[in-house]
Amino acid sequence: MPNSAVFVPHFHWDREWYEPFQVFRHRLVTALDTVLETLEANPDFRFTVDGQMAAVEDYLEMRPENRDRVVALVREGRLAIGPWLILLDEFLCSGETIVRNLQMGWAAAERLGGAMPIGYLPDMFGHVAQMPQILARAGIEHAALWRGVPGSVEGHAFHWRAPDGSEVRTEFLFDGYDNGLDVLLVPDQIGRALGEYAQMTAERWGGDPVLAMAGTDHNAPDPQLAAWLRKASGAELPITVATLDEYIRGHVRDEVTSVVTGELRSHVRGNILPGVLSVRLGLKQRMAVAERTVDHAERVNALWSRRDDSAFLSLAWHKIIESTAHDSVVGSGTDETCDQVAARLAEAAQTARAVRDAALAEPAARVPSDAYLVANPLPAPRTALVEVDVLAPAAGTALVATGADGSTHPVQLISEDPTVLSDERMDASQLERVLRRIHRRELFGLLIDRYELTPGSLVFHLAEVPAGGPFDLLILRREVAAAAAAHPGEWQVRTLAEARATALVPVHVPASGLAAVRVSAAEGDTAPAPRLTPATATVTPAADALSNGLVEVVVADDGTLIVTGADGTVLSGVGRLVDGGDRGDSYNYAPPARDKLVSEPTRITVELVENGPLRARLRVTRVYEWPAALAADRDVRGGTTVPTPVEMLVELRTGEPFVRISTAFLNRSADHRLRFHVPLPRPVTTSASAGQFAVTERGLTAEGGWGEYPLPTFPASTFVSAGPATVLLDHSSEYELVDGGSALALTLLRAIGSISVNIHPLRDEPAASEIPAPGAQDLGMRIESRLAVLPSAAGWQEADAVALAEEFRNDVLVTRGTAPAGGALPADMSGVRVDGKDVFVSSIRRVPADGDEHGVGNGIEVRLAALSDSGSTARLTGDFTEATTVDLLGRPLSTTPAQEGLELALAPWEIRTVVLRQYPTVPTSRP
């Protein structure tokens, strides 16, 4: 039996949840006021602030006068803060976001006296496989957590090992992060209650002290706690008050023997609430957009801009990280809370977009205004298809795209815009009202190229880029006034735009580089013959089939797809939709006891939307009769159905070995789950999904226990693979191998109406109060999803899924040039290039030069990972002369000359961060 106990006073603070952020912050300020007063009144008292700096930042924003008090207590070691900025959901954000969370939290804690060097993860809904490596590469040797630990762990600690072999000693909070509260229920009986608890759990502690976590959600400890514990401490079971750091690094002695490798998603000692992966789809999509936009903004700002926009980038990252909280992006809050999360993510994306566009405006100033700048955010060269606005060709004339080297490429015309924007008749006395529409030279979003003024007629000719001479609005006003006076009566006013069209253009762009392209009429009556290699064969559509030489897709009679890969792999029934009832809540899916599955459409139409040669699209529309809601008893779906058309846009592009699929429908049903099925040629027993610096393999079952049924639904971020089917993803998703491993099912929508339900068929205890959340039904919302299906018998590695997933998720960036029209196109430019099989590049950004205290420097930081069991060799090339390897907090480890590039031997699943110095000197200034 343990011979001592350590109490760790703390609270767990959900920044927003069943109340919105500002309501919770009002409580937070009161709670931390009490904490500071208690600490200052009791020199032997300690407090641990939940491992997240957001609570401290939120407090000091309201109580700035207390900053010095906080700093003093932190420096004394009595107030433990950090290391995270927010306690995040690890599966619903990128690995890079996890790293930035730790970096920003650590830095914020250092500014207040120092971070707690413990990877404290008390209430996350499971943990990603690479978390031990992330912690270890930041110099953190210990973690502490509760949910997801497998049943094989018998003690109160274990070694948690990442796929690369990194380990952290992990304190297992097996009774939760509030296990000490029951002991404190009757203050004058603490000694007795503690003795009973120590005896009940003796096999867990060995010779180590009992850890009593004395705290819970959203409450400060009682100010009398220190006195209660002093009174309860006795010779048989002495009590010490400590921070979590002091307990883990100062009180435990027993050797840890248990080792757990990889992700923690077991239900055996705590609910992991897997339904959060699929509820409130919009939040998951907004997170992906925000992360992608800030990543692109950092890359182009680092490589092509003279501006120091670090403040804006930090703001965008901060808002993203705030939104990753385990009660935020998961969507388990009230509607008003989730609305705020969505708005915050939108603001993050908008901030990053401003930085991205400003960075691209600089090289765009060297591109003529009748051409376009194309930027590649990926560190590998690629040929991408871009949509650009061009002058519509005359009848019988084709268009070609010309690059800076003079090479030409075929262009696919997609659509033409109307040329007559308005045709009005009015009295001459009303002409002045028309002129009020003009702002300097702008009219209807275009610019006035010229105008024609004749008796009774005024015609404006508009253009994107005016070819005519100067335009003077004052002269126009004078001329119109004179003409109206001279010719009273009816006038015709027409506004004509130059004939414009949207064209699809293939553009080859260097790694992390820039290219310019101009589209113009081809010489002669026809376009030049397509100069496409066999690997980029022309897309050939039929009435119900598409093929590009690498993959073929045929629409079957039931509206599903038959997809055939280059190696002959055939996937039949792709896109089968299965809709079932859901009587669960935001935390856990639950089918009605008498469910009704709907998988057969009542009507199917197939339409050819685009006919190649660069891109071809088919639209398959299937109409389903879905029940409108559950019945009153919630154990059966109601009898009223609503016809719901589901559009499936099927797309092939030249050079791509996968088929792009988008689905869209207006959701008119409540209480249901819709899944997209990819049937497999034969059953499989394992799947693998990519995300957070790893590809994690899983089986057909999950480990059960506690009070939650272990549904084998799992998270996937960038792709998921089962047998010969790999699905590339646009955002974090939920998937399951169903029908005994015969099909891969991805959740497109889970519509529910309550944060938690008191009686849940697949979970013993409520996850929260039964608070209505009607917004989580997504009623009246257009539900859109985007994915791609990659068939390959050899599996995801041989299919190069790591690289293809990056291409699928990261479009090139396109902006019109702003230099005078007609000039020469600037030469292509290359940035950082990274070559290597299964090498994933997580970040490319500007970092301060050594010794630059102002944060403006010429270093380019590259973070990459080997997504392979055998490791990878990464070769980095660009304009740099040395490379410094740094840890995940940016602290230098070693420096290597790199005049002819840098070759990195990456161990299996290793994350490596390097800073490249003496990049092309781009003077940086604040605007």
DSSP three-state, residue 290: helix
Dist. CA 294–CA 421, nearest whole Å? 37
Rounded to 5 degrees, what are φ and ψ at 742?
Answer: -90, -10
289 Cβ contact list (under 8 Å, min separation 6) = 345, 349
Element (H, E) at 95: helix 95-111
DSSP structure class, residue 91: G
- Residue whose entry in the numeric block shows the structure tokens 């002058």: 391
pLDDT per residue as tens digits for the range 682-712: 999 999 999 999 999 999 999 998 899 999 9
DSSP structure class, residue 183: G
- The bridge status of strand 5-9 relative to strand 210-214 is parallel
Dist. CA 292–CA 314, nearest whole Å? 15
265 Cβ contact list (under 8 Å, min separation 6) = 126, 127, 148, 272, 274, 702, 714
Work out the pLDDT band at 398, boundaries 50, 70, 90. confident
**Helices 225-232 and 190-200: crossing angle, nearest 10°?**
70
DSSP structure class, residue 849: P
Work out the pLDDT band at 658, boundaries 50, 70, 90. very high
User: Of the ranges 359-373, 455-469, 741-755, 875-889, which one carries the lowest mean pLDDT score?
Assistant: 455-469
Dist. CA 21–CA 745, nearest whole Å? 35
Q: Which two tokens stand for residue 418?
A: 């109307």
Torsion angle, CA of 678/680/683/686, rounded to 10 degrees? -60
Q: Are 506 and 620 in contact (CB under 8 A)?
A: no
- Supply the mean pLDDT for the chain: 93
Rounded to 5 degrees, what are φ and ψ at 116?
Answer: -70, 120
158 pLDDT above the threshold of 50: yes
- The confidence score (pLDDT) of residue 706 equals 84
- The bridge status of strand 490-497 relative to strand 457-463 is parallel
DSSP three-state, residue 799: coil
Residue with the larger pLDDT of the pair 111 and 848: 111
Q: What percent of the chain has pLDDT over 90?
A: 89
Nearest to 165 by CA among 920, 774, 914, 906: 906
pLDDT average, residue stretch 795-822? 96
DSSP three-state, residue 646: strand
Dist. CA 672–CA 279, nearest whole Å? 11
- The confidence score (pLDDT) of residue 253 equals 86
Longest alpha-carbon distance in the chain: 110
DSSP three-state, residue 487: coil
Dist. CA 7–CA 215, nearest whole Å? 10
508 Cβ contact list (under 8 Å, min separation 6) = 381, 382, 383, 403, 515
- The confidence score (pLDDT) of residue 900 equals 87
> How many DSSP H helices and E strands does the chain contain?
15, 50
Rounded to 5 degrees, what are φ and ψ at 622?
Answer: -120, 135
Element (H, E) at 310: helix 310-323
Work out the pLDDT band at 104, boundaries 50, 70, 90. very high
Q: Are 859 and 880 in contact (CB under 8 A)?
A: no
Q: In 455-588, which residue ranges form alpha helices assigned H by DSSP? A: 473-486
Q: Which two tokens stand for residue 273?
A: 């609430």
First-to-last alpha carbon distance for the chain, in angstroms, is 66
Work out the pLDDT band at 921, boundaries 50, 70, 90. very low
Dist. CA 462–CA 657, nearest whole Å? 42
User: Of the ranges 97-106, 165-174, 848-857, which one carries the lowest mean pLDDT score?
Assistant: 848-857
pLDDT per residue as tens digits for the range 173-192: 999 999 999 999 999 999 99
- The confidence score (pLDDT) of residue 849 equals 61
273 pLDDT above the threshold of 90: yes
Q: Are 570 and 678 in contact (CB under 8 A)?
A: no
User: Of the ranges 24-33, 463-472, 506-515, which one carries the lowest mean pLDDT score?
Assistant: 463-472
**Helices 335-364 and 281-304: crossing angle, nearest 10°?**
20
Dist. CA 868–CA 797, nearest whole Å? 8
Q: Are 591 and 610 in contact (CB under 8 A)?
A: no
Q: How crowded is residue 636: how many other Cβ atoms within 10 Å of its Cβ?
A: 17
Rounded to 5 degrees, what are φ and ψ at 402?
Answer: -120, 130
- The reported pTM is 0.94
Nearest to 124 by CA among 99, 104, 147, 140: 147
- The confidence score (pLDDT) of residue 923 equals 40
Dist. CA 716–CA 709, nearest whole Å? 20
CA R_g for the chain: 31
Q: Are 511 and 833 in contact (CB under 8 A)?
A: yes
Q: Are 25 and 58 in contact (CB under 8 A)?
A: yes
- The confidence score (pLDDT) of residue 705 equals 87
CA distances to 33, 330, 333, 626, 727 from 88, in Å: 25, 10, 14, 35, 26
Nearest to 616 by CA among 680, 540, 697: 540
- The confidence score (pLDDT) of residue 468 equals 75
Work out the pLDDT band at 396, boundaries 50, 70, 90. confident
Rounded to 5 degrees, what are φ and ψ at 731?
Answer: -155, 170
Rounded to 5 degrees, what are φ and ψ at 134?
Answer: -60, -45
CA distances to 454, 474, 475, 483 from 438, in Å: 19, 11, 13, 18
pLDDT per residue as tens digits for the range 550-596: 999 999 999 999 999 999 999 999 999 999 999 999 999 999 999 99
Dist. CA 774–CA 670, nearest whole Å? 9
Nearest to 401 by CA among 516, 485, 486, 318: 516
837 pLDDT above the threshold of 90: yes
799 Cβ contact list (under 8 Å, min separation 6) = 657, 726, 790, 792
Dist. CA 348–CA 355, nearest whole Å? 11
Q: ω into residue 83 within 30 of 0, thus cis?
A: yes
Dist. CA 22–CA 14, nearest whole Å? 12
Dist. CA 772–CA 777, nearest whole Å? 11
DSSP three-state, residue 416: strand
DSSP letters for 392-411: PPPTT--EEEEETTS-EEE-
Name the β-bridge partners of 98: none
- The confidence score (pLDDT) of residue 235 equals 77
Q: Are 729 and 716 in contact (CB under 8 A)?
A: yes
Q: Which two tokens stand for residue 412?
A: 């696919």
Q: Which burial class, exposed, middle or buried, applies to 809 when counting CB atoms under 10 A from its CB (0-12, 13-18, 19+)? A: buried
Q: Which burial class, exposed, middle or buried, applies to 297 when counting CB atoms under 10 A from its CB (0-12, 13-18, 19+)? A: buried
Nearest to 479 by CA among 420, 435, 437, 423: 435
Dist. CA 677–CA 674, nearest whole Å? 10
Dist. CA 677–CA 561, nearest whole Å? 11
Residue with the larger pLDDT of the pair 152 and 395: 152
pLDDT average, residue stretch 670-676? 98
